[in-house]
């Protein structure tokens, strides 16, 4: 059989592209996925204790885009959920992003208003200009002591690099608040798929124009396929046989544990900044699903170099290498590169969906 499109990867980018091409362009699509399941890193399933867990760590949906929310709402009902994260520091728990509660508890202060918080931070911040790295952007906002306590060691554990070796956006993604808002995100739409991400992907990919091959490296079957165009969402350096070197990623090893109690943590996620703990954070999944179970499952995350690629390492040298691959990709007329791995960019889920929908509009406009 001949396909109009072969799509490599069944994560958000590949799945949204497949659904849109099948329904909007009425084209035949084949998805080739190297894992044994669809959904990419957002894949979730019920463990042996009946708890819905995210096998590749917590994926929290949040967006300000009505377009993205309405699009995904075709494939799932939602459960309202506002994410909260705590930091374990010297045996105490503190909200992050840093806010008024954090400062009052940590330093024994009595800051009563947003103005009080702003005035306090003005006394501790440092002025690093130009802002060249993640250390600069944080000390400019909260000063050195809060940087040391909340960012430096955690960043070192997660990336195996000092914050001053990483681009500003790594730590700059986390805001600093002057009020008591303990939510991790402040987006307009904050929900979790009511029956899980995997069910959402199954519905998204249920169209008659879509076929899926799982547990298969696309290279092993590519010569046997007949198709017009390819959409590639895998690692861009792998596509080009690592011609310019292997792009660095951080990976994660997960250890899951079930406890015979209804709750263990005071929040869904607790970050461990102390270098004495090897894991970076612990996630309790029942917060996401709201399941009424007598036990609860937690995952412990250990950052590592080898394994599945999760986070592109945003250094100047890695960006230079990526742009060499990007230049090669632009020479190919019948291959489209999109998604986190193909663009070597840490996108949130809603950003991937938005980018993919925009890309589909370009295909429609160009008659492709």
The pLDDT value given to residue 147: 96
Tell me which residue of 140, 160, 89, 128 sits closest to 304, measured CA to CA: 160
The pLDDT value given to residue 213: 98
Q: DSSP assignment of 259-313, as one string?
A: ESSS---SSSEEEE--TTSS-SEEEETHHHH----SSEEEEEEEEESSSS--EE-
Whole-angstrom distance, CA of residue 294 vs CA of residue 51: 10
Q: DSSP assignment of 183-195, as one string?
A: BS---SEEEEETT
Position 99 pLDDT exceeds 80: yes
321-340 confidence digits (pLDDT tens): 999 999 999 999 999 999 99
Residue 41 φ/ψ, nearest 5 degrees: -75, -10
Output the average pLDDT for the chain: 96
Name the percent of the chain lying above pLDDT 70: 99
Whole-angstrom distance, CA of residue 102 vs CA of residue 94: 6
Q: Which two tokens stand for residue 189?
A: 């739409």
* Domains in the chain: ranges and CATH: 2-38+205-245+313-365 (3.40.50.720), 85-172 (no CATH)
When pLDDT is cut at 50, 70 and 90, the band that residue 368 belongs to is: low
Position 1 pLDDT exceeds 90: no
21-71 confidence digits (pLDDT tens): 999 999 999 999 999 999 999 999 999 999 999 999 999 999 999 999 999
Model-level pTM? Answer: 0.95
When pLDDT is cut at 50, 70 and 90, the band that residue 220 belongs to is: very high
β pairing state of 61-63 and 226-232 = unpaired
The pLDDT value given to residue 361: 86
Position 367 pLDDT exceeds 60: no
CB 227 within 8 A of CB 103: no
Whole-angstrom distance, CA of residue 298 vs CA of residue 363: 42
123-173 confidence digits (pLDDT tens): 999 999 999 999 999 999 999 999 999 999 999 999 999 999 999 988 888
């Amino acid at each position: 059989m001949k396909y109009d499109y072969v799509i490599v990867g069944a994560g958000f980018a590949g799945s949204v592209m497949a659904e849109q091409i099948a329904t909007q362009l009425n084209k035949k699509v084949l998805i080739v996925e190297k894992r044994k399941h669809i959904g990419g890193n957002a894949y979730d399933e019920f463990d042996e204790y009946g708890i819905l867990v995210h096998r590749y760590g917590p994926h929290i949906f949040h967006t300000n885009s009505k377009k993205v929310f309405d699009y995904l709402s075709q494939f799932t009902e939602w459960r309202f959920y506002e994410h909260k994260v705590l930091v374990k520091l010297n045996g105490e728990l503190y909200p992050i992003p840093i806010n008024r509660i954090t400062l009052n508890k940590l330093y024994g202060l009595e800051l009563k208003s947003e103005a009080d918080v702003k005035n306090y931070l003005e006394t501790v911040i440092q002025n690093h200009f130009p802002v060249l790295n993640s250390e600069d952007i944080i000390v400019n906002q909260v000063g050195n002591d809060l940087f040391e306590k909340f960012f430096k060691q955690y960043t070192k554990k997660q990336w195996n690099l000092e914050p001053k070796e990483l681009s500003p956006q790594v730590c700059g993604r986390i805001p600093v608040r002057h009020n008591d808002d303990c939510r991790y995100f402040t987006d307009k739409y904050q929900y979790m798929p009511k029956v899980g991400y995997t069910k959402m992907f199954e519905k998204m990919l249920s169209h008659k124009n879509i076929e899926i091959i799982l547990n298969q490296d696309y290279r092993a079957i590519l010569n046997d396929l007949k198709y017009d165009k390819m959409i590639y969402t895998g690692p861009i350096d792998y596509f080009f046989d690592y011609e310019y070197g292997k792009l660095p990623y951080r990976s994660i090893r997960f250890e899951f544990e079930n406890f015979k109690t209804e709750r263990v943590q005071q929040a869904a996620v607790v970050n461990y900044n102390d270098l004495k703990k090897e894991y970076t954070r612990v996630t309790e999944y029942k917060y996401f699903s709201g399941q009424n179970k007598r036990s609860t499952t937690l995952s412990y995350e250990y950052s590592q170099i080898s394994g599945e690629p999760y986070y592109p390492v945003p250094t100047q040298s890695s960006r230079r290498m990526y742009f060499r691959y990007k230049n090669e990709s632009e020479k190919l007329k019948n291959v489209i590169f999109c998604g986190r791995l193909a663009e070597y960019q840490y996108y949130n889920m809603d950003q991937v969906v938005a980018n993919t929908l925009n890309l589909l509009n370009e295909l429609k406009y160009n008659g492709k």
